[in-house]
Amino acid sequence: MKRREFFSQTLPAAITLPGLFKGFSVKAYTGSSPLIHSLLATTETDKVLVLIQLNGGNDGLNMVIPVEFYAGYQNARKNIAIPQNKVLTLNGVVKTGLHPSMAGLQSLYNEGKLAIVQAVGYPTPNFSHFRATDIWMSGSDSEQVLTTGWTGRYLANEFPNYPNGYPNSQMPDPLAIQIGAVAALALQGPTMNMAMNISDPNSFYDFLEDIQDTVPDTPWGKELKYIRLIAGQTERYSTVIRAAARRVPTQGSYPGNNDLAQQLKIVARLIKGGLKTRIYMVSTGGFDTHGGQVEEKDTTTGMHASLLGNLSNAIKAFMDDLKGLGVEDRVIGMTFSEFGRRIKSNGSFGTDHGAAAPVFVFGKNVRPGIVGNNPNIPTSTSVNDNVPFQYDFRSIYASLLSQWFCVKETDLQTIMFKNFQNIPLAYNNACTTTGLDDVIRNSGDQLIINYPNPFTETTSITFKTKGGHTMVQVMDSLGRVAKILTDKVYAPGAYTLPFESRGLPAGVYYARFQNGTTQQVRSMLKVR
């Protein structure tokens, strides 16, 4: 079969082959229909969301340190606790500090460009890396399996019928770009992944210079070379990406020997270059710190300190670069990891898989501050004790979609499948998000209490609601929901409900109160 016949008979007319440029893979689709274009109902926005994945399960308690409960923190982590006099302080905050290697993020917080959301997780957490990652990427319940990602569903909602008819005059650029060899589930749409993939930062620069991998001197190698040639000639996405990158010949300084920084440098370059791409995703690994998390002689040093230092320095360099390039108004970023670590450290100077952990949201237009309260450390911790979640991770997703991308409430239902708590995270005057003014941050008000505490079988839980939808749930030390006491609409006032614990073992339990944008967690102790 001749080469021309081979391609004409084996390639669908509606698509082109992926362009492969030293691991840089792009997919474009031909076929432009005026009817399709007339049906597109995208929200016009120049806003960008950058997702930073911390692979392995980051230890949130040594990243955001509960100075308020330092004695309990130190007691639970005798061999890895950060000395209190080394904790980085934050302007206007006395109860919470940062790991000493995170001076860059400390600076961003003090500049009003960082929000820290405490104890982010979900009911009944999964402690498998693979399954927990899928949960965070898809936005599913713990027992639910989804084959689409939360950002993939958002992009599919904004750009219906993708990939048919794209690129086009309305959206000539990739919808999303991910740096990483494996396509992330977060960007998976109903029919295909919505992102382009750059396998690694180094390959990007070869791509800009049109440097390709060599091919073997065989008939198959010649065919591969020909496929690449055709793909490169017909790939419109590759053209716009090169054009965007070449518009930005100089950038700010980024730390060397920092893979995350190099990924974010590419993101800043493409944003400044004018791409309309809405979602960028980067990642960094090594956070599965079962052992050797700290150096025995100095707990401020070691593997985790290096990881947090790289993260902090990369984000600070990225933010400084965006400011220098004049595009910081357009960008908000967030960090996430598939789970946190246990409260109590292990005997190997490390920590084991745990439940909730902090999430950082950064950018010039974030609502700065600390959202939520420091995790309360039990007086006597066991190896099974977890940080109970205060905020559902999907609340962060839904809040950013509505507050940053102006996604309508009805569309949020399509994307997220449920209503989630609205957390004040972003400023965008184009969005009409309401109901954010009553948030309580670091408030001393006790909105949920129980008596007696400790208790043996029954305790009374009293909560104060401002009215509207109110939920009270009780979780065990592993983060599993033991009982939902109420989940309905209330008139403003104080209410008391009994918690019957028959059949539950003795130990620490957490009563979680949620009322609109407000939530609090109360620790309770059941004794024999």
Give the pair of three-digit tokens for residue 68.
């308020």
Q: How many residues in the chain?
A: 528
Put residue 56 in one of left, alpha, beta given phi > 0 → left and psi -120 to 50 → alpha.
left
pLDDT of residue 244 exceeding 90, the answer is yes
DSSP string covering 333-360: EEEEES--B-SS--TTSS--B-S-EEEE
pLDDT of residue 443 exceeding 60, the answer is no
Q: What are phi and psi of 435, to 5 degrees?
A: 80, 25
Rounded to an integer, what distance in angstroms lies between the CA atom of residue 280 and that of residue 269? 12
CB 455 within 8 A of CB 439: no
Give percent helix, percent strand, percent coil of the chain, each to the nearest 5.
30, 25, 45
pLDDT of residue 8 exceeding 50, the answer is no
Residue 240 confidence (pLDDT): 87
The closest alpha carbon to 77, from 388, 294, 254, 309, belongs to 294
Rounded to an integer, what distance in angstroms lies between the CA atom of residue 503 and that of residue 431? 48
pLDDT of residue 90 exceeding 80, the answer is yes
CA 112 vs CA 250, 363, 365, 411, 413: distances in Å: 27, 9, 9, 30, 31
Rounded to an integer, what distance in angstroms lies between the CA atom of residue 473 and that of residue 248? 51
CB 368 within 8 A of CB 115: yes
**Do you find a cis peptide bond into 452, omega within 30 degrees of 0?**
yes
Residue pointed to by tokens 């949201």: 361
Mean pLDDT of the 337-348 span = 97
At residue 106, the 3 state secondary structure works out as helix
Residue pointed to by tokens 């109901």: 435
Rounded to the nearest 10 degrees, the angle between the axes of helix 236-246 and helix 259-272 is 100
Confidence band for 235, pLDDT divided at 50, 70 and 90: low
Residue 438, number of CB atoms within 10 A of its CB: 12
Rounded to an integer, what distance in angstroms lies between the CA atom of residue 206 and that of residue 195? 20
SS3 for 257-321, per residue? CCHHHHHHHHHHHHHHCCCCCCEEEEEECCCCCCCCCCECCECCCCHHHHHHHHHHHHHHHHHHH
Confidence band for 163, pLDDT divided at 50, 70 and 90: confident
pLDDT of residue 220 exceeding 70, the answer is no
The closest alpha carbon to 48, from 320, 283, 362, belongs to 362
Residue pointed to by tokens 């309260």: 373
Residue pointed to by tokens 């995350």: 260
CB 22 within 8 A of CB 229: no
Per-residue b or e along 92-127, where b marks 16 or more CB atoms closer than 10 Å to that residue's CB: ebeebbbbbbbebbbbbbbeebbbbbbbbbbbebbb
At residue 460, the 3 state secondary structure works out as strand
Residue pointed to by tokens 């713990």: 142
CB 49 within 8 A of CB 426: no
pLDDT of residue 146 exceeding 90, the answer is yes
Residue pointed to by tokens 């390709």: 212
Q: How many CA atoms lie within 13 A of 2 on its CB side?
A: 3
Gap between the terminal Cα atoms of the chain: 81
Residue 230 confidence (pLDDT): 37
Confidence band for 237, pLDDT divided at 50, 70 and 90: confident
Rounded to an integer, what distance in angstroms lies between the CA atom of residue 1 and that of residue 66? 70
Residue 223 confidence (pLDDT): 60
Domains of the chain and any CATH numbers: 45-416 (3.40.720), 448-526 (2.60.40.1930)
Residue 438 confidence (pLDDT): 44
pLDDT of residue 107 exceeding 60, the answer is yes
More confident residue, 523 or 297: 297
Confidence band for 216, pLDDT divided at 50, 70 and 90: low
What is the chain's mean pLDDT, rounded? 86
pTM, two decimals, is 0.81
pLDDT, one tens digit per residue, over 465-495 is 999 989 999 988 878 888 999 999 999 999 9
Per-residue b or e along 140-179, where b marks 16 or more CB atoms closer than 10 Å to that residue's CB: beeeeebebbbbbbbbbbbbeebbebbbeeebebbbbbbb
CB 472 within 8 A of CB 516: no
Rounded to an integer, what distance in angstroms lies between the CA atom of residue 526 and that of residue 454? 6
CB 504 within 8 A of CB 479: no
| Of the candidate ranges 45-59, 118-132, 295-309, 407-421, the one whose mean pLDDT is the lowest | 407-421
pLDDT of residue 211 exceeding 80, the answer is no
Q: How many CA atoms lie within 13 A of 165 on its CB side?
A: 15
Rounded to an integer, what distance in angstroms lies between the CA atom of residue 11 and that of residue 104? 50
